[in-house]
Amino acid sequence: MSQKKLSNSLKNQMLRITLIPLAIMTTIIVSFSVSGLYTITADKAEEELIRDADLAMYVFDTVYVGEYWAEDANGDGVLEMYKGEQPINGETTLLDELGKKLEIDITIFYNDVRLLTTLKDAEGNRAIGTNASVIVKNDVLEAGQSKFYENVLIYDVKSCAFYRPIKDDKGQISGMVGVSRSKESVKREMFIYTGPVFIVCIVSALFIGFIMAYFHKKLAERISKMNKYIDSLANGEFDVAMPRELTQEDDEIKVLANDGKRMARAIQTLVNYDALTELYNRRYADKKLEEIRVDALERGTKYCVCISDIDFFKKVNDTFNHEMGDYVLKRVADKLKAGMVAKGFAARWGGEEFLLIFENFELEIARRDLEIIMSEVRTIWIPNSNQQITMSFGLTALIPGENIDEFLKRADANLYEAKANGRNQIICK
């Protein structure tokens, strides 16, 4: 939340209406609140960590399709972790963003080994390859139970942690997800909570209820609208309008509403965009394909669809390593994105495949523009080598009334023909 000084903060509002009763009740509140505050804080930390673990698993299940699995592909004793067909070793951007936004550390284990984590030591080295404690292994992996630990040592830091087992479709446990917060941060939060103020307000209401009634009603209405608004964002309704009442007062509710909107946009970006290439991902592309099918049928809008593939991309990875492969994917994505400006959009279809959609284009005109894009791709060379990057394209026009599978199959067949005929070309029909 922003640290901007609020001209009419909730703290000031409550202070005005509770100053005298608060002074009378302070002694009583302090004697009862200190003993219960730590328990409340620990319970809240547990609830938040459980929620954060569920959110992390939901985001990963949304972005990456399939089950978690790992193998020693190179025979060097180092496991590479996958989710479905997508390798996720080293894919820390999504994990880091989630950890940063939720202010926690997140780890994905294969069995009891950390293969994806935000945990770092003092030198910034990630805790990849380290093992969970024996207690956690016994409680979570062997007993198959989710477990919260109020005081556990994680990477030499006393922490609160929650672990949930990861199960495949057959119910077998293949690993676990762990989320943690340092004990120090929980203690700091304990001294920030304003629980005693809430108790004072309830007791004081017996004496000054008629004074607080108007303010409570007004505040309750805004909190209710805030709850409905945040609930809409949580359900993926990112375009929902913010209720005007939430911004009438310059207070914490206004800030929370704005922060909720910003966080929804951030999550929408994580869900709809490919982290590496910054193009739309397949999930978003599938949604858009259905939209253009309906648009072509109802309005007669002309669309051309192209499935493209980087030629000999596996050879790039095998010869120059996967970092160079990522470099090539980013450069190609930049060319495709630039080439599709004001024409439609580009998406990463999977691996080295990309989907291009031309809106309001005849097939022959789309082909001419695609030739320009293909020429731009040919300007990409692998650094310090004579290896040029080329692509093959399968282009087709959407026929109103046909389903998505039909025209995608036709575009894919055109791509296959382009690759079979020597690659580095466009097949259009």
pLDDT in tens, 219-277: 667 777 777 777 776 676 766 777 777 777 777 777 777 776 777 666 666 778 888 99
Residue 31: is its pLDDT beyond 60? Answer: no
Residue 1: is its pLDDT beyond 50? Answer: no
Q: What mean pLDDT comes out for the span 117-133?
A: 86
- Give the full edge-to-edge strand order of the sheet including 157-167: 113-117, 105-110, 173-182, 157-167, 147-154
Q: What is the pLDDT of residue 394?
A: 96
Amino acid at 317: N
Q: Hey, what CATH topology would domain 39-188 get?
A: Beta-Lactamase (3.30.450)
According to DSSP, the residues that pair with 376 across neighbouring strands are none
Q: What is the pLDDT of residue 206?
A: 52
Residue 29: is its pLDDT beyond 70? Answer: no
Under the banding of pLDDT at 50, 70 and 90, the label for residue 57 is: confident
Under the banding of pLDDT at 50, 70 and 90, the label for residue 115 is: confident
Residue 343 CA, chain-centre distance (Å), reads 28
Contact, 53 vs 47, CB < 8 A? no
Catalytic-role residue among 48, 91, 249, 352: 352
Cα 399 to Cα 58, 305, 403: the distances in Å are: 36, 11, 9
Cα 265 to Cα 228, 261, 268, 272: the distances in Å are: 17, 6, 5, 10
Under the banding of pLDDT at 50, 70 and 90, the label for residue 3 is: very low
- Provide, rounded to the nearest whole percent, the portion of the chain with pLDDT above 70: 79
Catalytic site includes residue 352: yes
Q: What mean pLDDT comes out for the span 159-177?
A: 89
Q: Which of 1-5, 43-47, 89-93, 135-139 has the lowest mean pLDDT?
A: 1-5
Amino acid at 18: T
Residue 81: is its pLDDT beyond 60? Answer: yes
DSSP states of 2-64: --PPPTT-HHHHHHHHHHHHHHHHHHHHHHHHHHHHHHHHHHHHHHHHHHHHHHHHHHHHHHS
Where does 282-428 sit in CATH, by number? 3.30.70.270
Q: What is the pLDDT of residue 39?
A: 72
- Structural tokens at position 301: 């809008």
| Burial class of residue 240 in the structure, from the number of CB atoms within 10 Å of its CB (0-12 exposed, 13-18 middle, 19+ buried) | middle
CA distance 339 to 377: 10
- Structural tokens at position 359: 């809106």
Provide the mean pLDDT of the chain.
82
Extents of the domains making up the chain: 10-38+194-261, 39-188, 282-428
Which of 42-51, 217-226, 278-287 is most confident? 278-287
Q: What is the pLDDT of residue 269?
A: 67
Under the banding of pLDDT at 50, 70 and 90, the label for residue 427 is: very high
Under the banding of pLDDT at 50, 70 and 90, the label for residue 2 is: very low
Q: What is the pLDDT of residue 13?
A: 58
Q: What is the pLDDT of residue 125?
A: 86
Over its C-alpha atoms, the chain yields an Rg (Å, rounded) of: 27
